């Protein structure tokens, strides 16, 4: 860390925990998609090749549950982080630094459409998370819970049918299958398209991996966030989102 000269004023956008969770979910989700799609479309050639590679459908199922466990444990860790953020750090759940949806997101969306259509000179003044990033986040966070519940019903049908009627297993199967396709479509196309293939960051936005972004980038892409952290820059040492790293 010492020898790398920072040309720009580096800001930390994602804490180590969030980088780590993203990395694990990235691996876990990809594993789930590969094993799950291979099981769901087992007659196709790529699926047969993959199933052969892992030594049979039972092993693919085992891997699918393994990836499910590591992916969902990230949701659990994230929930604990939320408690820590609220209780210990007394963090705010709303405002420009929050991931929570707000009315401003709707306005941003309309303004952004206007910008795309040439009706506005400037893009909207996004906060720390744009409405696209919030959509990405909530799609995954809600999706992992619903996929987790239906997946658990399919994993332990004997347990769940002790108190649920048997057709819930069929419903779980249908929901799990179609939501999986939805999730894969959203993550592999919309998320990667919005987060990494935007002209501003193409070919990839590395901030979720390095945790770092530049002051200039925040000022351009997230002016709403900048107006908050620039006021409280010196006093906000405790807030992970705005810990500044000494450039040396």
Scanning 10-18, 28-36, 170-178, 218-226 for contacts with another protein by CB under 8 A, the matching segment is 10-18
Q: 108 or 205, CB closer to another protein? A: 205
Residues forming beta bridges with residue 11, ordered by sequence position: 213, 244
Residues 19-78 touching another protein, rule: CB under 8 A, are: 19-20
**Counting contacts by CB under 8 A, is residue 17 touching another protein?**
yes
Scanning 9-17, 75-83, 132-140, 150-158 for contacts with another protein by CB under 8 A, the matching segment is 9-17
Scanning 71-79, 131-139, 204-212, 222-230 for contacts with another protein by CB under 8 A, the matching segment is 204-212
**Counting contacts by CB under 8 A, is residue 231 touching another protein?**
no
Q: 43 or 235, CB closer to another protein? A: 235
**Counting contacts by CB under 8 A, is residue 164 touching another protein?**
no
Q: 98 or 244, CB closer to another protein? A: 244
Could you identify the residue written with the tokens 């049979």? 56
Closest separation in Å from C-beta 228 to another protein: 19
**Counting contacts by CB under 8 A, is residue 240 touching another protein?**
yes
How many residues bind another protein (CB under 8 A)? The answer is 18
Scanning 38-46, 137-145, 169-177, 209-217 for contacts with another protein by CB under 8 A, the matching segment is 209-217
Residue 50: Cβ within 10 Å count: 18
3-state secondary structure the chain: CCCCCCCCCEEECCCHHHHHHHHHHHHHHHHHHHHHHHHHCCCCHHHHHHHHHHCCHHHHHHHHHHHHHHHHHHHHHHHHHHHHHHHCCCCCCCCCCCCCCCHHHHHHHHHHHHHHCCCCCCCCCCCCCCHHHHHHHHHHHHHHHHHHHHHHHHHCHHHHCCCCCCHHHHHHHHHHHHHHHHHHHHHHHHHHHHHHCCCCCCCCCCHHHHCEEEHHHHHHHCHHHHHHHHHCCCCCCCCHHHCECCCC
**Counting contacts by CB under 8 A, is residue 238 touching another protein?**
yes
Q: Determine which residue in the list 10, 12, 33, 37 makes contact with another protein, applying CB under 8 A.
A: 12
Contacting positions for another protein (CB under 8 A): 1-2, 12, 15-17, 19-20, 88-89, 209-211, 237-238, 240, 243, 245
């Amino acid at each position: 860390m010492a020898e790398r000269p920072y040309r720009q004023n580096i800001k930390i956008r994602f804490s180590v925990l969030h980088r780590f969770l993203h990395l694990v979910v990235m691996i876990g989700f990809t594993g789930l998609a590969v094993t799950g799609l291979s099981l769901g479309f087992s007659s196709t050639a790529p699926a047969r090749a993959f199933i052969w590679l892992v030594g049979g459908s039972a092993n693919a199922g085992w891997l699918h549950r393994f990836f499910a466990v590591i992916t969902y444990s990230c949701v659990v860790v994230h929930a604990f982080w939320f408690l820590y953020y609220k209780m210990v750090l007394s963090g705010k759940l709303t405002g420009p630094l929050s991931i929570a949806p707000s009315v401003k997101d709707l306005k941003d969306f309309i303004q952004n459409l206007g910008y795309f259509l040439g009706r506005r000179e400037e893009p909207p003044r996004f906060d720390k998370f744009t409405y696209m990033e919030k959509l990405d986040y909530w799609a995954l966070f809600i999706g992992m819970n619903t996929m987790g519940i239906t997946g658990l019903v399919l994993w332990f049908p004997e347990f769940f049918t002790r108190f649920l009627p048997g057709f819930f297993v069929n419903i779980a199967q249908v929901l799990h299958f179609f939501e999986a396709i939805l999730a894969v479509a959203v993550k592999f196309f919309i998320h990667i398209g919005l987060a990494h293939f935007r002209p501003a960051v193409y070919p990839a936005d590395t901030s979720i991996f390095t945790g770092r972004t530049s002051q200039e980038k925040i000022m351009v892409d997230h002016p709403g966030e900048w107006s908050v952290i620039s006021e409280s820059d010196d006093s906000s040492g405790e807030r992970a989102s705005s810990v500044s790293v000494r450039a040396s």
